[in-house]
């Protein structure tokens, strides 16, 4: 027996009725702590010849073996759904640590379930969506990413179409703020309050993300910063010297959420091509102001004086 079995899930195995059948691991067993290390060969399944007969590893062994082969005896972070905490992850610990004598993982992250419109996602209920389905409905990848990241991983995420629309609106607000920082002509002199606001938001964002990846709290910090900074801009209390710190904070946010840059689809104009077209239009305006007219023909562009 592995004496520390149960240290991850903290289940009360002593309260379970002796001899009762337990079906929590896709096969019947007498004790919830029982696990299969090696399964007997079945027709049509891959198998290996061993001293105890032809068979294959149990799925818990598969994961321990792959993890230790490619990542070593101790993992820094082991993640998975909350439904895998017991028995799967508990069994991985028992198997791996019994062999190595070392901790199997330093940190465990268990994500809660995703539900759709308040119900379990199911094809039979007609509420089963893939990413391709959402893209076909016209939603951008970064919109879906924002929605999924907006709820801390320990909380259930109720996926709704209203939520997707709200995520798209939130991203528009963020991009409009970024564009305002880039394009608006502010007075040169900066304001100390604006610098203090950016520094405080940066510190709070980091602290909130360090608090068990509290993404919802971090987004609250971001939108409070947007609101207060937009108000400062409107009141003339934000200068060109304050732009860099505001952009740095926005960059910190996007290094985590990655939603500010729109996904460019195949065949779409690149940023460079768009800038070149804008530059060309400005050149045409300047030439026209100087009395030069450009005419586009099938043979190319020609010019003449007015």
Work out the pLDDT band at 20, boundaries 50, 70, 90.
Answer: very low
Domain with CATH 3.40.50.620 in the chain: 1-111
CA 111, CA 96: separation in Å to the nearest integer?
22
CA 223, CA 170: separation in Å to the nearest integer?
9
Helix, strand or coil, per DSSP, at residue 114: strand
Question: 116-263: what CATH class?
Answer: mainly alpha
CATH 3.30.2290.10 fits domain 1-111: no
Contact 127, 119 (CB under 8 A): yes
| 254 pLDDT above the threshold of 50 | yes
- The predicted-structure confidence for 116-126, as pLDDT tens digits, reads as follows 989 988 777 87
Say whether the peptide bond before residue 87 is cis (omega within 30 degrees of 0).
yes
Nearest Cα to Cα of residue 219 among 252, 244, 181: 252
Contacts of residues 25-29 at CB distance under 8 Å and 24 or more positions apart, as own/partner, are 25/87, 25/88
Segment among 70-74, 143-147, 191-195, 272-276 with least mean pLDDT: 272-276
Residue 177 bridge partners (DSSP):
none
Contacts of 305 (CB under 8 A, 6+ apart): 291, 292, 293
- The predicted-structure confidence for 23-74, as pLDDT tens digits, reads as follows 444 545 667 777 888 888 888 889 999 998 899 988 899 899 999 999 999 9
The two tokens of residue 256 are 């985590």
Domain with CATH 1.10.730.10 in the chain: 116-263
Instruction: Enter the DSSP assignment of 145.
Output: H
pLDDT, average across residues 196-225: 98
């Amino acid at each position: 027996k592995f004496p520390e079995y149960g240290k991850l899930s903290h289940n009360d195995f002593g309260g379970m009725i002796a001899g009762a059948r337990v079906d929590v691991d896709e096969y019947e067993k007498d004790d919830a702590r029982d696990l299969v290390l090696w399964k007997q060969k079945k027709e049509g399944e891959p198998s290996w010849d061993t001293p105890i007969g032809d068979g294959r590893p149990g799925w818990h062994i598969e994961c321990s073996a792959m993890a230790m082969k490619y990542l070593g005896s101790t993992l820094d972070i082991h993640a998975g759904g909350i439904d895998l905490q017991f028995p799967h992850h508990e069994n991985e610990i028992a198997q791996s640590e019994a062999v190595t004598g070392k901790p199997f993982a330093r940190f465990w992250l268990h994500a809660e379930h995703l539900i759709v419109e308040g119900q379990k996602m199911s094809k039979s209920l007609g509420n089963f969506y893939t990413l391709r389905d959402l893209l076909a409905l016209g939603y951008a990848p970064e919109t879906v990413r924002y929605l999924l990241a907006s709820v801390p991983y320990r909380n259930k995420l109720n996926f709704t179409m209203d939520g997707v629309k709200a995520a798209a609106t939130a991203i528009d607000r963020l991009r409009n703020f970024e564009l305002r920082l880039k394009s608006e002509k502010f007075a040169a002199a900066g304001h100390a309050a604006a610098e203090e606001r950016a520094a405080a938001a940066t510190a709070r964002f980091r602290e909130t993300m360090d608090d068990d990846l509290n993404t919802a709290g971090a987004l609250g910090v971001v939108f409070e910063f947007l609101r207060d900074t937009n108000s400062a801009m409107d009141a003339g209390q934000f200068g060109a010297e304050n732009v860099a710190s505001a952009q740095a904070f926005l960059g910190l946010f996007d290094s985590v959420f990655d939603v500010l840059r729109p996904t460019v689809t195949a065949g779409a104009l690149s940023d460079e091509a768009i800038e070149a077209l804008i530059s060309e239009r400005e050149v045409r305006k300047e030439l026209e102001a100087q009395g030069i007219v450009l005419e586009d023909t099938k043979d190319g562009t020609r010019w003449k004086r007015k």
